[in-house]
Chains A and B, each alone.
Chain A
């Protein structure tokens, strides 16, 4: 049996956990940042190892849809499949870039230890299929931002945790209630609406769908930009939708999810236009884009779902980069206002380019990866409901205006006077180049990414179809099912495995639990 990918996976989770412990004991913020950069880089390499090994395994499989499964006590604990494989390095890259581009002006405010813990939780979430492990991780994942908000509330004298706490309490309550009801109904096949509805509502809260979206804007108001960015951008809510709701929800439930998400996409786009603060603008842009992902998830067509998964990647990359650029600007001039012109171009031309590039990539500008995703999403929408396509186009148009408006307000209109250099740092330049490279690569050579998302979409549709027809064997989105295989067994497709040139020594998985 080949345990290579899950050893990498275990390492990807263990490194930030151990690193968080080490960093939290460091009193020197510079040293904490330095070690965090090393740890997140190692985590990123590890997740890339997971992904590469999965791709090698997938290319050698004689049938579609290999999955790597680790079982614990008969339950599927960790699963890496076509859907989740690229999400791991994407999440790790976001954490790495955020940590690496944290300037000195922010190192005392941004908690590196909490960020590493969040990273471990996020990666573990993306390596979970369903069941109580996923629920537990989703619940635990809400804690690090709360801890930061509480510590900042003490220092700023502002009671800034309530909005977040209320919404996350609602999220946790609905999640637990829904899973309990699903478990009580048990087995495969249809679940009652009373079991599905709490899970659906939990997903909507976590994803920031109107009217449950205020916690995201509030989080960006009160938390550090880095923490808020890392909590929001990986789209954990959408992941929960795929793992918890999609396999069991009937079409009308998914359609309802799609409708409210569509309304959120257009509403958030309009709200982004009128914002006077850059963070709030970013939060609304993010809400609009992430809502489009949920819109695509409900389509249940190969093209629509593929589009949603492509938009997911482009949102992570482009919005992550957009947020990091804003954060870099904030590090230099403080909180960014969108009331007056700031005129920062002459001081930070590279950041200006990155801002425009990532902002336009997020709205699907030609030549960027977002263009393909948006095209697929719109095309998929046309197959199902024409009005969905119209709303997606309108939201994208308004978002484009908001992005360029923000660009003009922040970088032009006047000349910013500064007696210190605000030029881009070397780390930031590398981050900008890496992001630009990925965005353009995805834009000009989209085939590999789209193909992988299409395969993932096919697997998700098969799983959904298996729920509709329980006699058909499913692809395994029914977490919690006992199996006769021994625990801690790694399943592979029934083909000859590749040579073990990349194999790591087997690490007993139980040691990591």
Chain B
């Protein structure tokens, strides 16, 4: 006889502890300046994935055997003082278990792929530290039982994603794109944190089982009024839009293809791009409380799908094309969530993630695959005019083509309408401050504008 609760608790903690342990080992070894050799990193990665995967599948098996649909695991109070406690809580239910198993499968696949793909790369260790950070973030986000825990995992995923986009950091383009990804993620993080703030303000709670009802997902009912649900839901939709590259934040997704193929596959094809949809699924009882909110979700999803379907057709490199293909599916998934089709959306996520991972890891060999196909059929692959070309006037086609090439001018709109005015305002304030300090000092007061920054070697300076 075994103690079921103790066993579940142990397995649940093992699911989280496995990626955490991997991050700890790789991170500490990097910090002390003794990164581990490639083979050891590979073995540790395999071990962490195996432990996490076996533990999560065992949890699933036990839940099915005992017909339990929700298993909360309270790790304990991380911080507990009078009037405040921050408890770390994980929940295994019909949403989190498939997602965490998917995470382990895809991370394991990509880890094995990356061991060879990244062999002898200068940043091999750096890649796997970020990979471990990403995996931990995904597991924590998937299993989060409170909005604060979800936020913690959300941020870990964001940082690792941005750092991996900028992986080839000797070139400026990946770095600029990495910064753009990070900026969008910060907006998304802020929206999620604001949603948490509002939830605490109106309900004094952050636990999902108290906010979304005690019934297992997706059968809960949110304990919010209509206007409260609309406000919180819109903030959560904004958070999801940033993370899943929904319109108008879609510009970062093709830019994220600067990263190495393994990270593109696991992040932007498979896992992190679906995180926004996962968030909406997790808080789906809130969507049910407000028709306007559900409508907003549907509009966001459909507009993203339409935009990505058009933009994907004009891309000239395989990874960008695949990224827009991913985005099309993510848009459809979000629309499904808005329509209330929760299980369909979940199954769609699982299937799409696996397919897209395969496509991304095959992307570097695309030309070889095309040649193999053409050799097999004995000629070039046929290119038939599609519906768009047959029925739409050419003038309109050109306009749509140009707009699609510019990716809907979304980045330009955000940059010019949102970012540039803010930057100009603060530059104006900076100029005012300079005038003020110059006046007090009776002359130029900014030494930094006169000091030549050193680009030569140190010995030339001395």
Q: Contacting chain B: which of A52-60, A199-207, A272-280?
A: A272-280
The residues of B that contact A390 with a CB separation of less than 8 Å are: 194, 197
The residues of A that contact B437 with a CB separation of less than 8 Å are: 163, 214, 217-218
Flag B207-249 by CB within 8 Å of A: 1 or 0 each: 0000000000000000000000000000000000000000000
Is A468 in the interface zone, CB < 8 Å from B? no
Assuming the A-B contacts A160-B447, A350-B33, are A273 and B423 also in contact, with contact meaning beta carbons closer than 8 angstroms in the complex? Answer: yes
Is A400 in the interface zone, CB < 8 Å from B? yes
A 257-303 contacts with B by CB, 8 A: 267, 270-271, 273-277, 279-280, 302-303
Assuming the A-B contacts A217-B433, A366-B152, are A162 and B201 also in contact, with contact meaning beta carbons closer than 8 angstroms in the complex? Answer: no
Q: Are B171 and A413 in contact (CB under 8 A)?
A: yes
Q: In whole angstroms, what is the CA distance A221 to B446 when docked?
A: 7
The residues of B that contact A499 with a CB separation of less than 8 Å are: none
**B-side interface residues, number (CB < 8 Å):** 68
Q: In whole angstroms, what is the CA distance A430 to B159 when docked?
A: 25
Contact partner, B186, options A271, A375, A401, Cβ 8 Å: A401
Q: In whole angstroms, what is the CA distance A335 to B451 when docked?
A: 7
The residues of B that contact A413 with a CB separation of less than 8 Å are: 169-172, 175
The residues of B that contact A412 with a CB separation of less than 8 Å are: 166, 169-170, 175
Q: Shortest distance in angstroms between B161's beta carbon and chain A's nearest beta carbon?
A: 12
Q: Are A450 and B79 in contact (CB under 8 A)?
A: yes
Q: Shortest distance in angstroms between A251's beta carbon and chain B's nearest beta carbon?
A: 19
Is A451 in the interface zone, CB < 8 Å from B? yes
Q: Shortest distance in angstroms between B296's beta carbon and chain A's nearest beta carbon?
A: 21
The residues of A that contact B377 with a CB separation of less than 8 Å are: none
The residue of chain A having its C-beta at the shortest distance from the C-beta of B458 within the complex is A420
Q: In whole angstroms, what is the CA distance A371 to B179 when docked?
A: 22
Is A502 in the interface zone, CB < 8 Å from B? no
Q: Are A454 and B81 in contact (CB under 8 A)?
A: yes
Q: In whole angstroms, what is the CA distance A214 to B193 when docked?
A: 31
The residue of chain B having its C-beta at the shortest distance from the C-beta of A453 within the complex is B81
Q: In whole angstroms, what is the CA distance A291 to B200 when docked?
A: 24
Is A427 in the interface zone, CB < 8 Å from B? no
Q: Are A162 and B440 in contact (CB under 8 A)?
A: yes
Assuming the A-B contacts A270-B426, A274-B430, A360-B159, are A303 and B179 also in contact, with contact meaning beta carbons closer than 8 angstroms in the complex? Answer: no
The residues of A that contact B441 with a CB separation of less than 8 Å are: 159-160, 162-163, 218
Q: Are B182 and A401 in contact (CB under 8 A)?
A: yes
Counting chain A CB atoms within 10 Å of each CB, which of B79, B151, B152, B446 scores highest? B79
Q: Are B442 and A162 in contact (CB under 8 A)?
A: yes
Q: Shortest distance in angstroms between A195's beta carbon and chain B's nearest beta carbon?
A: 29
Q: Contacting chain A: which of B4-12, B82-90, B100-108, B341-349?
A: B82-90
The residue of chain A having its C-beta at the shortest distance from the C-beta of B24 within the complex is A440
Q: Are B159 and A267 in contact (CB under 8 A)?
A: no
A 431-460 contacts with B by CB, 8 A: 432-433, 436, 446-447, 450-451, 454
Is B448 in the interface zone, CB < 8 Å from A? yes
Counting chain A CB atoms within 10 Å of each CB, which of B30, B162, B183, B445 scores highest? B445
Q: In whole angstroms, what is the CA distance A510 to B137 when docked?
A: 57
Q: Shortest distance in angstroms between A342's beta carbon and chain B's nearest beta carbon?
A: 8
The residues of A that contact B183 with a CB separation of less than 8 Å are: 401
Q: In whole angstroms, what is the CA distance A276 to B448 when docked?
A: 9
Q: Shortest distance in angstroms between A263's beta carbon and chain B's nearest beta carbon?
A: 12
Is A51 in the interface zone, CB < 8 Å from B? no
Contact partner, A372, options B83, B86, B445, B455, Cβ 8 Å: B86
Q: Are B457 and A446 in contact (CB under 8 A)?
A: no
B 421-462 contacts with A by CB, 8 A: 422-423, 425-427, 429-430, 433, 436-437, 440-443, 445-449, 451, 453-455, 457-459, 461-462
Contact partner, A404, options B86, B179, B436, Cβ 8 Å: B179
Q: Shortest distance in angstroms between A384's beta carbon and chain B's nearest beta carbon?
A: 10
Assuming the A-B contacts A397-B187, A413-B169, are A334 and B454 also in contact, with contact meaning beta carbons closer than 8 angstroms in the complex? Answer: yes
Q: Are B190 and A393 in contact (CB under 8 A)?
A: yes
The residues of B that contact A274 with a CB separation of less than 8 Å are: 423, 426-427, 430
Assuming the A-B contacts A267-B429, A271-B429, A390-B197, are A454 and B82 also in contact, with contact meaning beta carbons closer than 8 angstroms in the complex? Answer: yes
The residue of chain B having its C-beta at the shortest distance from the C-beta of A339 within the complex is B453
The residues of A that contact B70 with a CB separation of less than 8 Å are: none
Q: In whole angstroms, what is the CA distance A33 to B147 when docked?
A: 49
Q: Shortest distance in angstroms between B172's beta carbon and chain A's nearest beta carbon?
A: 5
A 289-338 contacts with B by CB, 8 A: 302-303, 306, 332-337
Assuming the A-B contacts A274-B427, A389-B197, A412-B175, are A159 and B451 also in contact, with contact meaning beta carbons closer than 8 angstroms in the complex? Answer: no
The residue of chain A having its C-beta at the shortest distance from the C-beta of B443 within the complex is A159
The residues of B that contact A73 with a CB separation of less than 8 Å are: none
Assuming the A-B contacts A404-B162, A413-B171, are A375 and B86 also in contact, with contact meaning beta carbons closer than 8 angstroms in the complex? Answer: yes
Assuming the A-B contacts A159-B441, A436-B31, are A420 and B459 also in contact, with contact meaning beta carbons closer than 8 angstroms in the complex? Answer: yes
Q: In whole angstroms, what is the CA distance A505 to B158 when docked?
A: 55
The residue of chain A having its C-beta at the shortest distance from the C-beta of B436 within the complex is A214
Is B155 in the interface zone, CB < 8 Å from A? yes
The residue of chain A having its C-beta at the shortest distance from the C-beta of B453 within the complex is A337
The residues of B that contact A381 with a CB separation of less than 8 Å are: 197
Q: In whole angstroms, what is the CA distance A81 to B153 when docked?
A: 37
Q: Are B445 and A163 in contact (CB under 8 A)?
A: yes
The residues of A that contact B33 with a CB separation of less than 8 Å are: 350, 424, 429
Q: Are B458 and A333 in contact (CB under 8 A)?
A: yes
The residues of B that contact A350 with a CB separation of less than 8 Å are: 31, 33
The residues of B that contact A229 with a CB separation of less than 8 Å are: none
Q: In whole angstroms, what is the CA distance A336 to B453 when docked?
A: 6
The residues of A that contact B81 with a CB separation of less than 8 Å are: 302, 306, 450-451, 454
Q: Are B78 and A447 in contact (CB under 8 A)?
A: yes
Q: In whole angstroms, what is the CA distance A404 to B81 when docked?
A: 33
Contact partner, A433, options B32, B83, B194, Cβ 8 Å: B32
Q: Are A397 and B82 in contact (CB under 8 A)?
A: no
The residue of chain A having its C-beta at the shortest distance from the C-beta of B427 within the complex is A274
B 134-192 contacts with A by CB, 8 A: 148, 151-153, 155-156, 159, 162, 166, 169-172, 175, 178-179, 182-183, 186-187, 189-190
Is B396 in the interface zone, CB < 8 Å from A? no
Q: In whole angstroms, what is the CA distance A302 to B155 when docked?
A: 27
The residue of chain B having its C-beta at the shortest distance from the C-beta of A378 within the complex is B197
Q: Are B79 and A343 in contact (CB under 8 A)?
A: no
Q: Shortest distance in angstroms between B230's beta carbon and chain A's nearest beta carbon?
A: 16
Flag B10-34 by CB within 8 Å of A: 1 or 0 each: 0000000000000000000011110
Q: Shortest distance in angstroms between B134's beta carbon and chain A's nearest beta carbon?
A: 14
Query: What are 19 sample pairs from A and B whose C-beta atoms fall under 8 A apart?
Result: A221-B445, A270-B425, A303-B84, A333-B453, A337-B453, A353-B31, A367-B152, A381-B197, A393-B194, A396-B193, A401-B179, A404-B162, A404-B182, A408-B175, A413-B175, A420-B458, A424-B33, A433-B32, A447-B80
| Chain B residues with a Cβ under 8 A of chain A | 30-33, 78-84, 86, 148, 151-153, 155-156, 159, 162, 166, 169-172, 175, 178-179, 182-183, 186-187, 189-190, 193-194, 197-198, 200-201, 422-423, 425-427, 429-430, 433, 436-437, 440-443, 445-449, 451, 453-455, 457-459, 461-462
Of all A-B residue pairs in the complex, the 4 with the closest CB atoms, nearest first, are A334-B454, A412-B169, A277-B448, A366-B152
